Structure 1
Amino acid sequence: MKLPAWLLLLGHLVAVCFRDVSAVNAVTDNKNVQELEFGETTLTCRYTLEKEQVIRLEWKKTDLKGETSFVYFNNSLSEDLQKRAQMLGSSIRIMNLSRGDSGKYRCEVSAPQDAKIFDEVNINLVVLVAPSVPVCDVPSTAMSGSVVELKCREKEGNPASEYKWFKNGFPIELSAKATNSSFKVDRKTGTLHFNTVTKEDTGDYYCEASNNIGKSQRCPMKRMQVDDLNLAGIISAVVIISLVIILCVCGVCYAQRRGYFSGGKSKKEHNSASQAENDFKHTKSFVI
């Protein structure tokens, strides 16, 4: 008895679905893992096979720069992980985590005797790092009415830190509003920008970096002194410098006239030589 075409097609679809389900299949418990620096984590990778066989298991890592390297290959962990990692079946336990461990990990399972011979899972690992002490750039002096920029930066925190500025121990937002100062704070870059500083902006400044991982860190306090432009002092300095230049010019002219420079000395020697030559000619004529 010949089966209908639609029944044959249905049987084929069922067979295909059953084969795909029972073929090599890799899974993980968590595709996005976040752990603190110096802690530990387990990157899970489990698989099922259609047939019992010897499989090939490999772990690879793509770091934050986009470079890919082996983590587990040929039944051995990479050299940098051998002392602080171990295989738990097909999963990897990594201890004493550092920022360099962050990246995209790929568990690859190859089963050559299965209908589908290859499968993989991808896990994104982020190692959370508390901020380091930021470096602050605060000018020691500034002129009233000028544009001034204070900078703050730290490079260790992950995720990237945000920044907050303080003046005389209080948030800059409160201190600046009290003096009607014109400023802008960029919390992402750590820049404190004054459009025009005044004497009221004089004070002790420091910056604080935080990323909700561990303690916030602050740079040492630095003082910025803002002074008004001293026009009287500038005019006095210009007058004094002008007088000095005039005196120098007069001195040079006087020395030139007195023959204290090489030009005057050469002229005197030239006159002496001319006189000696005339005396010689006069003597020679007398002898003849």
Structure 2
Amino acid sequence: MARRSGPRLLLLLLRYLVAALGYHRAYGFSTPKDHQVITAIEYQEAVLTCQYLKKTMDSRLEWKKLGESVSFVYYEQALKGDFKDRAQMLDFNIRIKNVTRNDAGKYRCEVSTPSEQGPRLEEDTVTLEVLVAPGVPSCEIPNSALSGTVVELRCQDREANPAPEYTWFKDGIRLLGSPELDAQSTNSSYTVNTKSGTLQFNTVSKLDSGEYSCEARNSVGSRRCPGKRMQVDDLNISGIIAAVVIVALVISVCGLGVCYAQRKGYFSKETSFQKSSSAAKATTMSENDFKHSKSFII
């Protein structure tokens, strides 16, 4: 009996696998395909391809854009949204004539084909990556600086895709990543970060005065911000000394005035009290003299 039960179990497993495959085909669980990544430059065209093998007249096609909420791109044999004005269907594929950065994302095509076992469903996912050229970068360049201080110039562009690299120019001449490589440089204390877009002077000098501009560049294009002059001046030591001397003189004069007033008793409470008492006595004596003279006359 044990020998016979083995083949029966194997036969039951084979039947289960055949039934599972039949269910898989009947309800259209498609085999996974290689994920597509389509790259397009902004304002040019792109074609979203649906890798579907069996195409028949009875097949029904839907395109959806995935994300936080799913939106229809192609449904009931018509393009939807703003795609109906700038896209067209090429069989099962979508040709977008004027790609924008908002079109970037994941798309899914779904194809339903009727069959004897039931509708067969297949789907394919496509990622559209839109390359964007840099805009005019935002440049932060100080108007003035003091020699010997740390000064940082900033350059940034938030629109480009892929992220751009930055290049700094002084008086129209490119500054290299380090001054040791720059034959035009007379300053040996600056650093350029091409990724973050910063130009930092560890100890800026008067020789660094000039017009600075920054360029953002990626594989699509490049843009440069308008030049702006930075003036570096030496620290006015003589002026600082003169200001300190004047302040010291003012403080000394004020101190001498306070000492003189204290010696004269202008800030003493007893002196003010004595002055008020003397005034009161003088008033009383004048009244008594007046009364006495009056009685004498009578």
Q: Identify unmatched segments of 5+ residues in structure 1.
A: none
3-state SS in 1 of match to 2:142: coil
Q: How much has 1:219 moved relative to structure 2?
A: 1.2
3-state SS in 1 of match to 2:284: helix
Does 2:237 correspond to 1:231? yes
Does 2:177 correspond to 1:149? no
Q: Which amino acid is 1:147 matched to?
A: V
Under a length normalisation based on structure 2, what TM-score does the superposition of the two structures give?
Answer: 0.70
Distance 1:30 1:255, change over 3 A: same
Distance 1:236 1:55, change over 3 A: same
Q: How much has 1:249 moved relative to structure 2?
A: 5.5
In structure 1, which of residues 209, 222, 236 is the aligned counterpart of residue 216 of structure 2?
209
Matches within 5 A, 1:182-221: 182-214=189-221, 216-221=222-227
Q: What is the CA–CA distance in structure 2 between the aligned matches of 1:138 and 1:72, rounded to whole Å?
A: 46
Distance 1:50 1:172, change over 3 A: closer
Does 2:249 correspond to 1:243? yes
Distance 1:56 1:211, change over 3 A: closer
Does 2:83 correspond to 1:70? no
What do residues 81-135 of structure 1 show as CA deviations (whole Å, max 9, x unaligned)?
3332344443222232211111122223345755784332121212222111112
Q: Which has the higher strand share?
A: 1
Distance 1:85 1:50, change over 3 A: closer
Which has more radius of gyration?
2
Q: What is the CA–CA distance in structure 2 between the aligned matches of 1:118 and 1:192, rounded to whole Å?
A: 57
Does 2:173 correspond to 1:167? no
3-state SS in 2 of match to 1:106: strand
The range that moved more, 194-203 or 86-95, is 86-95
Q: How much has 1:152 moved relative to structure 2?
A: 0.6
In structure 2, which of residues 51, 61, 64 is the aligned counterpart of residue 59 of structure 1?
64
Q: What is the CA–CA distance in structure 1 between the aligned matches of 2:226 and 2:188, rounded to whole Å?
A: 23
In structure 1, which of residues 100, 103, 111 is the aligned counterpart of residue 102 of structure 2?
100
The range that moved more, 183-192 or 70-79, is 70-79
Under a length normalisation based on structure 1, what TM-score does the superposition of the two structures give?
Answer: 0.72
3-state SS in 1 of match to 2:162: coil
What is aligned with 2:46?
A: 41
Q: Identify unmatched segments of 5+ residues in structure 2.
A: 1-6
Q: How much has 1:137 moved relative to structure 2?
A: 1.1
3-state SS in 1 of match to 2:199: strand
3-state SS in 2 of match to 1:237: helix
Does 2:90 correspond to 1:84? no
Q: Which amino acid is 1:35 matched to?
A: A
What do residues 245-287 of structure 1 show as CA deviations (whole Å, max 9, x unaligned)?
44456667889999x9xx9xx99x9679846963686389658
Does 2:121 correspond to 1:118? yes
Q: What is the CA–CA distance in structure 2 between the aligned matches of 1:272 and 1:119, rounded to whole Å?
A: 116
Q: What is the CA–CA distance in structure 1 between the aligned matches of 2:146 and 2:246, rounded to whole Å?
A: 23
Q: Which amino acid is 2:44 matched to?
A: G
Q: What is the CA–CA distance in structure 2 between the aligned matches of 1:279 and 1:120, rounded to whole Å?
A: 121
What is aligned with 2:3?
A: none
Q: How much has 1:60 moved relative to structure 2?
A: 2.1
The range that moved more, 203-212 or 72-81, is 72-81
Q: How much has 1:27 moved relative to structure 2?
A: 9.6
* Percent identity over paired residues: 46
How many equivalent pairs are there? 274
The question of whether the paired residues in 2 share the 8 Å contact of 1:147 and 1:197 is answered with yes
